[in-house]
Amino acid sequence: MSAIRERRRHPRIAVSWPVRVWVDDEALLGRAEDASRHGLWLTVPTTTSLKLGKVCWIDVLSEELGSFTVAGEVRYVSGRRVGLETTRPVPITRLEKE
């Protein structure tokens, strides 16, 4: 049996960050479960606003890194779980070295 090929360009780091996801004028409160250089994996309330290809803004409140905001495109949705590819790097460099 062959191993499944990893498609991610950057490794994920487990995090627990409160987030506010802005979809048009709607704000969804949730939590980032993991982060990579160009992506976030979120848990948010069930919504029909987050669809594949939708671009939204994510305000992140991180104790380790401080607050930051990134734009992201929805790449995966399953119930309350949402995978986003960010348009600029998520500032996790300090976490990668720990």
Q: How confident is the model at residue 3 (pLDDT cuts 50, 70, 90)?
A: low
Tell me if 23 sits within 8 A of 47, measured CB to CB. Answer: yes
Domains belonging to the chain, first-starting first, are: 13-96 (2.40.10.220)
Q: Tens digit of pLDDT for each residue in 26-55? A: 999 999 999 999 999 999 999 889 999 999
Three-state secondary structure of the chain: CCCCCCCCCCCCEEEEEEEEEEECCEEEEEEEEEEECCEEEEECCCCCCCCCCCEEEEEEEECCCEEEEEEEEEEEEECCEEEEEECCCCCCHHHHCC
For the record, the structure tokens of 50 come out as 């987050």
pLDDT score for 35: 94
pLDDT-above-70 percentage for the chain: 84
